Amino acid sequence: MNVVIIGCGVVGAAIAYELSQVKGLNITVFDQQPPAKASTGAALGVLMGVISHKIKGKAWQMRQTSIQRYETLIPELEALTGRQIPFNRQGILSLCLEGEDLAGWEKLRETRHSQGYQLEIWDNAKLKHICPQVNHGKIIGAVYSPQDRQLDPTALTLALVAAAQHNGVTFKFGVSVLGSLTPEFSSQLETTEGKITADWFVIAAGLGSTPLTAKLNQMVDIRPVLGQALHLSLGHPLGNSDFQPAITGNDVHIVPVGNGDYWVGATVEFPTNGDEIPADVELLVSVKQQAIAFCPELAQATITRTWSGLRPRPEGRPAPVIGKLPGFNHVLLATGHYRNGVLLAPATAWAIREMIISESG
């Protein structure tokens, strides 16, 4: 059975690898660019699972599936490909500011405990002792989530591609999928390199999913939300070099990436006029200032790079969008992951695998 995946960000690559382990599938992935160049290439890779406020239903189930799968996926990919995937296993530390609902955190801690996960609520004395780099008058404590992770989204995506290739998947980079040959699309799509036929099409094209589904007269409305971030080089680690969790507070992440370097981000900027989002320099400056307010030593760091990317956010419906394209039995959507595409890629791949297996059996 032939499966075509459109898009090779973290979501398309995760699907390709997961499906490559199902017998009898002949898989081809198309991307108009090289892998991990769109939203995925800009992501910070913070996997907010246990520490998220999602506690039930699909939203929590997907997070749980991903958290569990990442623990086996990373060593599996490293062994298969010989590549290193930077994977921070030291957890996520969420700073609590004055006025924050500590009772709410305590409730979440109990819920997570009953679900088999840990959260620790630290008072200021404990926070200062364990993370002396954090020094801000308005912080009243922190929530530490030891089972949450952070990883390098580009390294992960390239490893997924290499592992899928190893398992027989074909990748065609630099090829755009244009849409249907006829309005009565059945099993063919047009690309810049001619038409392609498949039993299943999986649309994992992020923001490109909108024009593609529009061509099939079934537009799924996914809009961009800009995120800017920066790479700071301090030259030495903040605080205790043996304990470098990703730190988050007031929606700003401080992500250790080794050698005293940190990624800091990201802004959340909505389009003002159509799909146009001019990057607001002041917002990036305020993200940096917030990071410095939490960890004053960062004021000494130099900015070695700034970048931005567009998050694919579904309009008027919750993220992500996973399931059949209405009216098409063999077109699956795996898109619109907005702020959590790296976190949710393994669970998305699993869901697509289940849909294909259950319908093909």
Binding stretches for ligand FAD (CB under 6 A): 6-12, 30-33, 37-40, 42-46, 176-177, 204-206, 208, 212, 227, 229, 265-266, 309, 311-312, 335, 337-343
Residue 197 CB, nearest approach to ligand FAD (Å):
16
Residue 305 CB, nearest approach to ligand FAD (Å):
13
CA dihedral 181, 175, 360, 346 (to 10 degrees): -140
Write the secondary structure of 127-160 as one string of H (helix), E (strand) and C (coil). HHHHCCCCCCCCEEEEEEECCCEEECHHHHHHHH
Residue 336 CB, nearest approach to ligand FAD (Å):
8
Residue 320 CB, nearest approach to ligand FAD (Å):
8
> Which is closer to ligand FAD, CB of 133 or CB of 340?
340
Q: What does the buried/exposed string (b/e) look like for 249-268 if buried means 16 or more CB atoms within 10 Å of the residue's CB?
A: beebbbbbbeebbbbbbbbe
Q: Which residue is nearest to ligand FAD (CB)?
A: 208
> Which is closer to ligand FAD, CB of 42 or CB of 141?
42
CA count, 13 A, side-chain hemisphere, 308: 16
Residue 70 CB, nearest approach to ligand FAD (Å):
11
> Which is closer to ligand FAD, CB of 257 or CB of 343?
343
Residue 40 CB, nearest approach to ligand FAD (Å):
3
Write the DSSP string, 180-231: ESSTT-SSEEEETTEEEE-SEEEE--GGGHHHHHHHTT----EEEEEEEEEE
Neighbouring CB atoms inside 10 A of 115's CB total: 12
For residues 341 and 9, the answer to whether their CB atoms sit within 8 Å is yes
> Which is closer to ligand FAD, CB of 227 or CB of 239?
227
Neighbouring CB atoms inside 10 A of 63's CB total: 23
